[in-house]
Structure formats: structure tokens, C-alpha cells
Amino acid sequence: MTFPISLRRLCMSAVGFAITVTSPLNAQTYTGADEAQGGQETGRATASGDRTSIDPYIEANSIASWQISPGSDVVTYTQLAAGVDAAIVGRNNGGSVSGRYERNLAHQSGQPDSDTITGIARGYASIVPRVLTVEAGALASSTRVDAQGRSVINPIVDDNLSTQTYSIYAGPNLQTRAGDVEVSANYRIGYTRVEGPDFVTATGNSADLFDESVTHSANVRAGIRPGEPLPVGVGVGAGYYQEDVSNLDQRVRDAYVRGDVTVPITPTLALVAGAGIEDVEVSSRDALRDVSGTPVVGNDGRFITDEASPRIIAYEASGLIWDVGVVWSPSSRTQLEAHFGHRYDSETFYGSFSWQPSSRSNLSFAVYDGIQGFGGRLNNSLAALPTDFTAIRDPITGEINGCVNSLDGNGCLDGLLGSVRSSVFRGRGIVASYSRQVGRISASFGAGYDRRKFIGAPGTVLALADGVVDESYYLTAGVSGPVGQRASFSVNTYASWFDSGTAGAGDVRAIGSSASYTEQVFRNLSARAAVAVSMLDSDLAPDNFTTASALLGLRYDF
């Protein structure tokens, strides 16, 4: 969404923001008709005309991984991979996708082979230009997880420690007018699943590994611009959000109705305020218990739900909600939204900042606050990605590092790293990204903080998770570009810290860096070389886990 300097159009944009973003549901789900339409406008503004690029490829690589600590061991394996990188930027549609499948064949007996699917996609298509659009996104990622549900970027290939996460969402967005009244509506359905090692958490901790969830969100609003006919903009909106988590039949329901007003102060500044009523409820069932009262665990390592047990309320809040804020846009390339209010029976803060000083650089921040499960959080952060991006991958494992390189909007997935507990939580945090292109060199930086306070129903196995706070911090950085006419390079670094709120669980720190070089040897055939170092340090382990890896291979682009 952009905010031109004229007062009339500023007020129109500010009204759309006040109704859509400051509404309780959209503060939680990061979606809305205005956001989808705004994403399309930005994609066209930053692209040099319509373009389509599709690059399918295959790879054959030889990899050696040296375990430096603890102990010393070298493992070699052959990696076969196939993937595609594609981007479409058009007048009425756009999107980006990066998908990859790997088969890793260990050379040593006793070492497991593995299969990995990773990818990220985000796009939209106009059914009726500027009126009806459909957007969708998908993610496949592999992370390393421990018994407390803590996940970090997977530094090595190991099926015994890895979780495979899949997330997808889709839905329509409608934006139209009825005289002076602007009307918008949207609906989104999402699905997330985590496949991982068969274990439950340490004794005394009831937060087992997340399984799967389905989310639904719907919003509708109507509003008028300032000056048509009132000197201020006014509107009314309503929305509904529901997430059903398979673990212990957890459910989040959030419904609201509210009104908003936009007061222009200057041609570049507007005050916004809103108030309404909201009803939020989190509930679940208990686990099946044996004759001694011990919760029963299934073959997949997760608690078995007692379908005959009553649904127990874990959290509920009903009543007045309100917020006030500012919308500031001194130019079409700079916009700031900041909001403070009352929600969930407590204070709430959320907003965003975007600065694009030129078509070759972009800085973005987003602050969020909402109640959801792991699946809802990941769906929301996926939907907040731009549609024009380049995926950043580890050159050896092929894994996505949590951020993408884009000159259009925020490029980091705040839900990818951190806790994979099954419990519903209130999540607050900030995510930031910066991208810059200097000549033919591209650089990107991402950082974030995520705080999750878990919610568990009393009398159930999730009660021990109630009130537990997990915090995670992460950084990513990368630079890439050509070397002469036939070669290219990339350097990437990541770091993450996970502070567990569970007593005695300890903290986990991960850091890694990689570099790669690719040179074309004949037409579409190129040779690749890469090196990487990674370290995983846990308070519960006597030694850190450090590995160094190297790759030599060939890639053919069709």
C-alpha cells in the first residue's frame, strides 16, 4: 500500500489502513483486501515491466561432512537434487517460487539415507482486475528439533533429528465501491503440518511436538474517505478467525465487530482510532489416560486425545477493545504505522515501517501481537511475504534460512524458527529485513525477536505449559553476485538463540556460515563448490555440536 502526498488520497489510504490493519483480527493474521491489493501495486512499481522467468535444474553433488565436536568423524555422501526457481511479474498477476527435492545417499554403512523437500512460494492472480484477486502461498522446510520443541536451522542431514514442516494457504480478496463507500472482504484457509521424530518432551513438560492445524479467517469492512462527504474518514468492520489444532483438539476462536475513524492532520500525517467488541476463546480436550491416570502417548510420540472428555476453556476474553495510532507517509517510498491499544485484557502494540529510498534498496519492520497456534503463526508470516523475491538457500543442505531476498516488503518468516510446541500461545515480536542491490551484487539482512506465552487448559496435560514463555532471536545475512561473465558467488551467515521458559530445559544457540562458487563450463552446465561451518550449542549437552562441510558438484539448468 502506498500513500501519495495529496491529502485526499492520503486519507483514502489511511482509512483503508485504519479499518483493515487496526482491526483485531487483522492485527493477528496479517491479511486483508487492502494488503493484497497493495502488494500487487508495489510489485508493479518495482518491476521493469512484465517478466517471466522459469529455471528448472538438476544437480549431482559429492559432500563430505566432518564432525569436529564432540568427537571426530567424517561422513561422505552423494546428493542428487532437482528443483525449480521461477518468478512472474505481470499487470494482473505475480509470484515467486523456489522448490527443491534432495536425495542424500550415505557412503558409510550404518549412516541413514535421507530425502528432503524444501521450498517457498507466494503469489496472486486477478480474476477481475482491481476488484477480485486470489492469493496463495506455500512452504516446505526442514529444521532441527529437540525434546523441548525448540527448532533451529538444520545444519546437517539427519532424519533422526529433523522435522519437516509444510504450510499452505489460499483465499480470495474483494475490493469494490458502492457510491462513496469502499467495500472490501477476504477469506483465507490455511493448513500446516509438522512431521518429525517420534518423541514427547522431557518428563514434567506437557508441551509435545505440534502435529497439524487448519485455520480459517474472514474479514469484511465498509468505509468512506475523508471529505466524501465528512471531513474525517469513518468505517465499520467485522471479522472471524478460527484455528483447529489436532493436538488434544485445541481450538482458537476470535470474532470482532468495530468502528474506526481517520483524522487527517497534514498532507502526510493522519491519526487513526477504533473501538469495538471482541470475543476470544481458547479450548482443548484432555489426553487419554490409563488406569493409573498417566497420559497415553501414541506411536508418533504425541499425546492421544480423549475424544470423550469435555472441552475445557483455557483462555477467554470478551468485551471492549480499542486502539489509537498514527499513519505517516512523507513520500510514496516511506510509510510508518504505529498503534497502541487494549486487547486480550492487556495492552497491545503493533505496526510497521517501510522505507524504499530507491528501486534498489528496501528496509522493513513489522511488530505483531496475536493469539494462535504454530500453524496460524506460520501461515500469517508466509502471507506477509512479498510476491517478488529470491529464496536464500544453504549451498550444501539446500535449506531455506528463514528469509528471502526482496526489494519489496518484509522478507523474513518470523514463524519458521523458534518453538514447535503444540500449545496455543500469545505471540509478540518484531521482524526486520533489509535488501540492497549495488550494481550486480545483491545483499540482504534479516533479524527478529519472537516471544510466545503458552496457554494450557487447567486439568489437562497442557496445564504445565500454561504461562511458560519461550523466546527466540535470529539473524541472517547474505551477499551474492556474478564473477566475470561465467561465474557467480554467494556468502551466507545465520545465528539464532532460543531461551526456553521450561525449568531445567536450558537454552540453545546455533550459528553457521557458508560460501559457494559456481562457474559455467558448457552452455547450461555449471560446476559448483561450497564450504560451510555450523555449531549447535545446548545448555543440556556437555559439548557443542560443530560440523564443517564441503561440496563439489555439477548443475544443469534447462
398-423 residue pLDDT tens: 888 777 777 776 777 766 666 788 89
- 286 pLDDT tier (thresholds 50, 70, 90): very high
Percent of the chain with pLDDT over 90: 51
The closest alpha carbon to 28, from 425, 326, 304, belongs to 425
- Show me where the domains of the chain are located: 7-557
pLDDT in tens, 104-142: 898 888 777 888 899 999 999 999 998 999 999 999 988
Selected residue with higher pLDDT from 1 and 230: 230
Does the pLDDT value for residue 252 go beyond 50? yes
Mean pLDDT of the region 454-459: 93
Q: Average the pLDDT over 166-182 and give the result.
A: 94
- Model pTM score: 0.84
Predicted pLDDT at 39 = 35
Q: How far is CA 546 from CA 473, 491, 498, 549, in A?
A: 20, 19, 17, 10
* Banded pLDDT at 149 (limits 50, 70, 90): low
pLDDT at residue 205 in the model: 44
Among 293-297, 327-331, 424-428, the range scoring the smallest mean pLDDT is: 293-297
The one-letter amino acid at 201: T
User: Average pLDDT, stretch 512-533?
Assistant: 93
Contact criterion met (CB below 8 Å) for 500 and 465: no
Which position has the higher pLDDT, 16 or 337? 337
- Give residue 90's pLDDT band: very low, low, confident or very high (50, 70, 90): confident
Is the pLDDT score of 32 beyond 60? Answer: no
287, pLDDT greater than 60 = yes
Tell me what pLDDT residue 428 has.
Answer: 93
Question: Strand runs (DSSP E) across 267-345, as ranges?
Answer: 269-284, 312-331, 334-343
Q: Is the pLDDT of residue 38 over 90?
A: no
Summarised one tens digit per residue, pLDDT across range 348-397 is: 999 999 999 888 899 999 999 999 999 999 999 899 888 888 888 888 88
Q: Grid coordinates standing for 60?
A: 549431482
Q: How far apart are CA 174 and CA 412, in angstroms?
A: 26
For the stretch 252-276, what's the b/e string if a residue is b when 16 or more beta carbons lie within 10 angstroms of its beta carbon? bbbbbebbbbbbbeebbbbbbbbeb
Residue 492 has pLDDT above 60, yes or no: yes
Instruction: Count Cβ atoms below 10 Å from residue 181 Cβ, excluding itself.
Output: 13
Percent of the chain with pLDDT over 70: 84
Burial of 52 (0-12, 13-18, 19+ CB in 10 A): exposed
pLDDT exceeds 50 at position 28: no
| Strand runs labelled E in 344-381 | 346-358, 361-372
- For residue 263, the number of C-alpha atoms closer than 13 Å in the C-beta half-sphere is 8
539 or 237, higher pLDDT:
237
**Spatial distance between the Cα atoms of 515 and 513, rounded to a whole number of angstroms:** 7
Cα 376 to Cα 384: distance, rounded to the nearest angstrom: 12
Q: Mean pLDDT score of the chain, rounded to an integer?
A: 83
What integer pLDDT is reported at residue 417 of this predicted model?
63
Question: pLDDT-based confidence at 241, cuts 50/70/90?
Answer: very high
Residues 420/149, Cβ–Cβ less than 8 Å: yes
